[in-house]
Chain A
């Protein structure tokens, strides 16, 4: 019984990993330097933020919600983080905590509106997308804040050659998947996404779980903000524009249903990796902007199509 479950899970991951592998092989053959440790270290440095945002988005999509505000919440979190470090003279750890608290609050606020008034998540988070962006611009006075050496402790940390942000992202993926697979909260989320009314009738506290999920998504977006600002050593009030769509693309490539009830954080991780490999590979090929967009779009649709047929078999 247990081995059958394991077998099915592995088979599930196999299809996507194959897409990733084919892409890596393609770029390895067509460019001189793609298949090197440096490329993979570069990608590992780039994706932590996207992985963390996409993990939160996976949770929200599983309960059949959507969060369009992650990019703006990232900017707001980053803005608070940046101002805390520069203008308000906070030490690093309190600055991180204030940043994450900001994201949690934004997410919880959206969640309360969605759960309490049964408003469509699309509209509520669209409002948050505007409001949080305004907040980010207000906090920074619309000026990019240069952080420099203040974030070095995060940037210079590494375990076995893996950067601290990458380790954090891995931890988020593992914890997220465990939460989905093995906890009551995870099972309740799938139940709500599958059929909200049934979930309510079987005694699941639907409203409370929705608030938790949106708060988690906001909190993860602001955790990504810390990583984003660390990588760029700057806090930019215009950061993260369009990240919501990138995150949704990665999550959907990973086979999570937009209709809710089905999804996996590990596969989301592979989805993010696919997009990152594609972007790096295309730059190394020297592809121009229009071509890059065309190919990225085609790959998103192709990956989802492949997932559809693999599930049918």
Chain B
């Protein structure tokens, strides 16, 4: 008996969820609307606050400029699901969109499918994670990258941090996924600033962008390097993990932490001083910059050129 009740309930819940999904707010496909160009925005994981903000920004922009273009936004489930993202680009080629704005999950694997899109006459604009220059050159194609200089952003935050340190102070870097382009750029930016200011980088460890991994890594690091004066994290999630590790070790007052991305959860920490600085690369504007550039390319035959978008240092003073 309970089996029947349970399976009935399960079925009902599923129907409700499915019914809820197909509401009138469904994505505008734009087919049969020849006047406005259709722009496909293909992002990485929408389970990531950063890309979600990016998508929301793009939707708001489209709503404000509804007469200019139609937006088709798609994301993959898992940030590393390169295969799925390639399929999405292929679908967009099949749907004959006018432009694709892409945040590639891999800086090499997506080049091939981008080339096919361009062969089909689609304008391709690269945002967020830069496609590999060597691969692009080998293929003989040019895809404009519209995005922030991560190395410069990291350099700004680390230089600000240096003002709170004495030359020779031991510092540690907590990096993102070691193979990711932006992780490498941020690490290099941190290193530039720290070497310039004469600090000693005693450890560089990866925590895969993850809060709880950063917490464990930092706990171990401060035991091995008790004199550590600063921890430079390649994103705010890892900075949150570092701050909580320092708090439980009772070292929050001795060690400065900086992060990157300016996520909402980090702002309280910035205000109370547990986090010294972060970097805002304006996630809500990132996709918009790409879309605006794609529109520009569609209207005029400008040659594809890289565009740099702003990165800003965020500290307790700059927060409202």
Contacts and interface: CB of A to CB of B under 8 A. Distances in A.
Q: Do A and B bind each other?
A: yes
Interface of A: 31-34, 36, 38-39, 42, 45-46, 112, 116-117, 133, 137, 142-146, 148, 155, 163, 228, 231-234, 236-240, 279-280, 283-284, 286, 288-289
Which residue, of B47, B205, B206, B212, has the highest number of chain A Cβ atoms within 10 A? B212
Nearest to A146: B265
Contacts of A142: 46-49, 52
A131 to B, nearest CB: 10
A38 B6 contact: no
A137 B3 CA distance: 29
Interface string B281-315: 00000000000000000000000000000000000
Contacts of A237: 47
A144 B50 CA distance: 11
A233 B225 CA distance: 24
Contacts of A233: 240, 243-244, 247
Contacts of B226: 33, 38
B265 A42 contact: no
A180 B166 CA distance: 57
Contacts of A112: 2, 6
B79 to A, nearest CB: 10
A38 B263 CA distance: 31
B219 interface: yes
Nearest to A290: B178
B49 A34 contact: no
A155 B224 contact: no
B265 A239 contact: no
A33 B224 contact: yes
Interface of B: 2-3, 6, 46-49, 52, 178, 203, 205-206, 208, 210-212, 215-217, 219-221, 223-226, 237, 240-241, 243-244, 247-249, 263-266, 268-269
B244 A45 contact: no
Given A33-B223, A144-B264, A236-B212, 10 more contacts: A34-B223, A38-B249, A46-B216, A143-B264, A146-B268, A233-B243, A238-B210, A283-B205, A283-B224, A288-B205
A279 B248 contact: no
Given A232-B211, A238-B47, A117 B3 contact: yes
Contacts, number: 112
Nearest to A243: B212
Given A42-B249, A283-B205, A143 B49 contact: yes
Given A31-B224, A286-B203, A289-B178, A280 B219 contact: yes
A279 B223 CA distance: 13
A239 B47 contact: no
Given A148-B268, A280-B219, A283-B205, A236 B248 contact: no
A45 B47 contact: no
A51 B243 CA distance: 23
A39 B222 CA distance: 9
Q: Which 6 A-B pairs have the closest CB atoms?
A: A283-B220, A146-B265, A284-B224, A144-B265, A280-B220, A42-B219
Nearest to B264: A143
Contacts of B2: 112, 116
A232 B48 contact: no
A282 B2 CA distance: 51
Contacts of B248: 45, 155, 163, 231
